[in-house]
Amino acid sequence: MFFRRDAPHSTKGGHRRPSRGSATLAVLARLAGVAMGILAAGFTGCQPSSGPPPSSTEPQFQVDVAPVKPVPRAADSHQAARAETVETPVDSRSATEDTPSALRSATLAAVERLVDDLPGTTEPMALLALARHRFGDHAAAAECWRRCLELDAGFADAWHGLGSIALEQGKDEEAASHLRKAVEVRPEMPEVRIALADALMNMGNMEEVIAVLEEDIQRFPREARSFFRLGQAHAQLGNNTQARQYLETAVRLAPETAYPYYALASVCLKLGDQEKAAHYRQEFARRKQTDRQVEHKRLKTFDDAQEVRRSATFFHLAAGNLYLRHRRPERAEPYWQKAAALDPHNQESRLQLAENYQLTNRPGKALEMFKELQAIEPDNAGYWVGAGQVQLQLGRHQDAEKSLREAVRIAPERGLAYAALAQFSLRTGRPPAEARALAQTAVDKEPTAGNYALLAVTCQQQNDLQAAREALRRAVALEPQNAMLLGALQRLEEGTK
């Protein structure tokens, strides 16, 4: 799915920080879209085009799960109780105005409104299950997972969710039953196999543990947790030689994890290797001491309000993304705004807002978001490119050029900023040779289809149609199914016959 069960806990420094590559994804997509827009406008014949080419306004929807056919859902009590509040989906006040208790309630209400707005689909209900589980209502979470299964009996995340709740409650046989179904539906989920192995180990079924995890390590040969559990299972069966091999692999893959050393010490002792047993006991003691220090620091600095804000940020962001996936960007926007208000360092919510503001012709608001993103991560070239594009749209050419050249300074090895500067030159009437040189640099650094398409435009601006054709052919070779590139190449070749 688009979210993980442990996502609220997977933050560092209190915020979800995208990698530099993912943070610039929206900017890269927009650059490619602009280049395609130039192609559509410029390659209608063999003469150079005139006037600024239009930019792409088609939003980039990415659906990474199979669509679920909507089915009718009976009305429930929570839907009726809040029907009157749907018109104002999210209170985007500053997070400092919310107590932890109030923020939990507001977050649950916001996700429940998502469920009401997108009835008959599994993902909103799954997000509500995660939210209820995160905030301690396991019974309500389980009910949400069951409702997911009413909509789609093959929804692996629901089986996983029910199995995890049963495992937490010590209902190992029930957990194993649910988790087996999750593995059957989606065998590529390592988290499910590990949870199933835990339930089976609690039941004493070591043979099935081994069968489950042997398949897992074939799929995920660097999953230390699976090797650790395989070592434990073999040790329980008295297969100490095999147990040692698996545990040594676990230690090699996750050398800072304490418990594999303890298990290795025990196995080595049984095998008569006193020296190694003593070594692994020492390693276990050292890492365990480190774990105690880390835990002591965590407990000493624990802030319940901060943890709730972190979770609320995740759920508002995820809900907004779901609205977008279902072509409801107007409903997504206040959720992203709330996520940004809750976490002043959250980049993804600001990227989504910047994209949405541009698509809805609010460049001033988009520029505000890019400025905030620059303050959060000033060495991210994509944020300077995004700001430069918006400044160009606002007619602030000097500021736009300054932003784009800062992007080049930050990431001179990337083609991103050079491509943006080439487009800047095209749009502001700079000498065609300047735009072509910049586009060529972009291609040299990153030979993508979009950069080749941009190079083709600049060649056509100089009436160098042979070079334009060659650049387009290279673009088509990289993306042979791209209809716009194929059409532009066909028009150019027909126009020069």
Together in a domain, 211 and 108: yes
In a domain, 200, yes or no: yes
pLDDT in tens, 128-163: 999 999 999 999 999 999 999 999 999 999 999 999
Are residues 423 and 442 in contact, defined by beta-carbon separation less than 8 angstroms?
no
Helix, strand, coil % in the chain, rounded to nearest 5: 70, 0, 25
Q: Confidence class of residue 50 from pLDDT cuts 50, 70 and 90?
A: very low
Write out the residue range of the structural domain in which residue 391 sits.
Answer: 18-60+346-495
Together in a domain, 490 and 413: yes
Residues β-bridged to residue 12? 15
Q: Confidence class of residue 470 from pLDDT cuts 50, 70 and 90?
A: very high
Using DSSP, state whether 493 is helix, strand or coil: helix
Q: Cα(1)–Cα(71) distance, rounded to whole angstroms? A: 20
In a domain, 5, yes or no: no
Together in a domain, 92 and 38: no
Quote the pLDDT of residue 112. 97
Together in a domain, 278 and 218: yes
- DSSP per-residue letters across 138-153: HHHHHHHHHHHHHH-T
Residues β-bridged to residue 15? 12
Are residues 225 and 205 in contact, defined by beta-carbon separation less than 8 angstroms?
no
Using DSSP, state whether 17 is helix, strand or coil: coil
Quote the pLDDT of residue 104. 95
Quote the pLDDT of residue 304. 83
In a domain, 7, yes or no: no
In a domain, 433, yes or no: yes
Quote the pLDDT of residue 301. 75
pLDDT at 181 over 60: yes
- For the ranges 78-82, 85-89, 223-227, 471-475, the lowest mean pLDDT is seen at 78-82
Q: Cα(48)–Cα(101) distance, rounded to whole angstroms? A: 63
On average, the pLDDT of the chain sits at: 83
Quote the pLDDT of residue 122. 96
Are residues 342 and 106 in contact, defined by beta-carbon separation less than 8 angstroms?
no
Using DSSP, state whether 133 is helix, strand or coil: helix
274, 305, 336 — which closes off a domain?
A: 305
This prediction's pTM: 0.76
pLDDT in tens, 215-259: 999 999 999 999 999 999 999 999 999 999 999 999 999 999 999
Together in a domain, 418 and 280: no
Together in a domain, 426 and 294: no
Together in a domain, 40 and 84: no
In a domain, 326, yes or no: no
- Quick count: other Cβ atoms within 10 Å of Cβ 9? 12
pLDDT at 55 over 60: no
Q: How far apart are the first and last CA of the chain?
A: 50
Together in a domain, 490 and 405: yes
Are residues 152 and 68 in contact, defined by beta-carbon separation less than 8 angstroms?
yes
Together in a domain, 285 and 415: no
278, 305, 332 — which closes off a domain?
A: 305
pLDDT in tens, 282-340: 999 999 998 888 888 887 776 788 999 999 999 999 999 999 999 999 999 999 999 99
273, 305, 337 — which closes off a domain?
A: 305
pLDDT in tens, 419-449: 999 999 999 999 999 999 999 999 999 999 9
Structural domains in the chain (count): 2
Quote the pLDDT of residue 6. 39
Q: Cα(453)–Cα(42) distance, rounded to whole angstroms? A: 11
pLDDT at 378 over 50: yes
Which CATH number goes with the domain that contains 482? 1.25.40.10
pLDDT in tens, 398-421: 999 999 999 999 999 999 999 999
Q: What's at 298, amino acid-wise?
A: R
In a domain, 154, yes or no: yes
In a domain, 330, yes or no: no
Quote the pLDDT of residue 98. 65
Q: Confidence class of residue 493 from pLDDT cuts 50, 70 and 90?
A: confident
Q: Cα(78)–Cα(105) distance, rounded to whole angstroms? A: 13
Together in a domain, 144 and 185: yes
Share of the chain above pLDDT 70, in %: 80
Together in a domain, 214 and 292: yes
Together in a domain, 97 and 208: yes
- Which has more confidence, 55 or 338? 338
In a domain, 189, yes or no: yes
Choose among 65, 60, 198: nearest CA to 126: 65
